[in-house]
Structure 1
Amino acid sequence: MEYKMEAGSVMHPKSVCFDLLLILLGMLLLWEPLGSRGQNDTEPIILEGKCLVVCDSTPSSEPAGNALGMSVRSGSGRVAFSASRQTNHEPTDMSNRTMIIYFDNILVNVGTHFDQESSIFLAPRRGVYSFNFHVVKAYNRQTIQVSLMVNGWPMISAFAGDQDVTREAATNAGLVIMEKGDKAYLRLERGNLMGGWKYSTFSGFLVFPL
């Protein structure tokens, strides 16, 4: 079989095959970098069954997870709160029933998961949370004991019991694993709190989800 190129000239079939092979190789070389650019910085990279994730700095939504059981934190998943006691006296409800320490001055409430009225933090998702508190007693010759409660159970506690110090703080901090919907708050286990003046604070934030 012969292929005509111009009048009076012919091309051997082997030459045609060689030229086609060169064209295919050229297309493959051009295709490879285009394919590699299809993977952007925000997509998970699968490597031997493991997922390497690069987080977008400005994500549009919070992903729930993937097939490997891994989740990605994003800007919409940030959780943090900090509150102080501003009023001088506690509501009568505290000393009579709940013994919850109320914080009426919100400093930070990212995600709005800390309820000012009840002074209870509601965990929006399962994860490791960091809490710290600094509760000042207002009078000397008394001891106060304060506990960080999660669903009614004391997790960490602190006391201030120097009888000769007027303003002493019961303070502590720790990490707690919480499930979605768990409640965290401060409870006065012993003593009386009559002071505020922004000396006492309660803060927490999501370290990372689980």
Structure 2
Amino acid sequence: GLKAACPAPRTPNALTTGHRSSPGQNDTEPIILEGKCLVVCDSTPSSEPAGNALGMSVRSGSGRVAFSASRQTNHEPTDMSNRTMIIYFDNILVNVGTHFDQESSIFLAPRRGVYSFNFHVVKAYNRQTIQVSLMLNGWPMISAFAGDQDVTREAATNAGLVIMEKGDKAYLRLERGNLMGGWKYSTFSGFLVFPL
């Protein structure tokens, strides 16, 4: 029968340590060319739209999902965040796939997978306590707080991995306190680690 063939590796970093399949075997390994997995060959056809009868799927650019945003302007005070409790980021640094909506500051997952998020939200004044949560469809997944009464530029920061389904929403919510500022120090970033 027909069998998908993977190209030969061109760099020492390619996955060459595993066994090589004989023509009678059905399992092959992904080959990495110059650090990028171009073609994935599998014995079972992929469930992705790119899959075909050969069991070969090509990773297209649509699989690349990453965003990073900061609070560019000096919000004094942050009326929008204090009213809606969503922390807004008005400066896009990276938005590969355009799945982070700048207007709402909400990330919309384009596919099921493991996603990595991190945030760093700076309070502007002392005697302020803020608590920030990474929200997934309205539920807090991870939280952080900044509550030192003697520190002016203190940050609530955390990071973690979450499994998201297609269409899930992730954003930051101000759980406690008032976000009195931000400047360029507050950031919110995320990316697709791998699809499921």
Same fold (TM over 0.5): yes
Paired residues of 2:68 and 2:189 also in contact (CA < 8 A) = yes
Distance 2:166 2:76 in 1: 29
Q: Which residue of 2 aligns with 1:15?
A: 4
Paired residues of 2:66 and 2:190 also in contact (CA < 8 A) = yes
Against the structure 1 CA distance between its residues 192 and 69, is the aligned structure 2 distance closer, same or farther, given a 3 Å change threshold? Answer: farther
What is the Cα-based RMSD across aligned positions, in Å? 8.8
Distance 1:46 1:85 in 2: 37
Structure 1 residues 79-114: Cα deviation after superposition (integer angstroms, max 9, x where no partner): 000000012227876356420000000000000000
Q: How many residues align?
A: 180
Distance 1:112 1:169 in 2: 27
Distance 1:161 1:49 in 2: 43
SS of aligned partner of 1:16: coil
Distance 2:5 2:145 in 1: 90
Structure 1 residues 144-187: Cα deviation after superposition (integer angstroms, max 9, x where no partner): 00000010000000001110000000000000000000000000
Structure 1 residues 116-151: Cα deviation after superposition (integer angstroms, max 9, x where no partner): 010000000000000000000000011100000010
Paired residues of 2:26 and 2:43 also in contact (CA < 8 A) = no
Distance 2:5 2:64 in 1: 63
Structure with the greater alpha carbon radius of gyration: 1
SS of aligned partner of 2:83: helix
Percent of paired sites with the same residue = 97
Structure 1 residues 35-72: Cα deviation after superposition (integer angstroms, max 9, x where no partner): 99999999999999999963799999984446899976
More displaced 10-residue stretch of structure 1: 66-75 or 90-99:
66-75
**Counting helix residues as a fraction of each chain, which structure ranks higher?**
1
Against the structure 1 CA distance between its residues 53 and 137, is the aligned structure 2 distance closer, same or farther, given a 3 Å change threshold? Answer: same
Against the structure 1 CA distance between its residues 97 and 58, is the aligned structure 2 distance closer, same or farther, given a 3 Å change threshold? Answer: farther
Distance 1:205 1:115 in 2: 14
Distance 2:88 2:173 in 1: 9
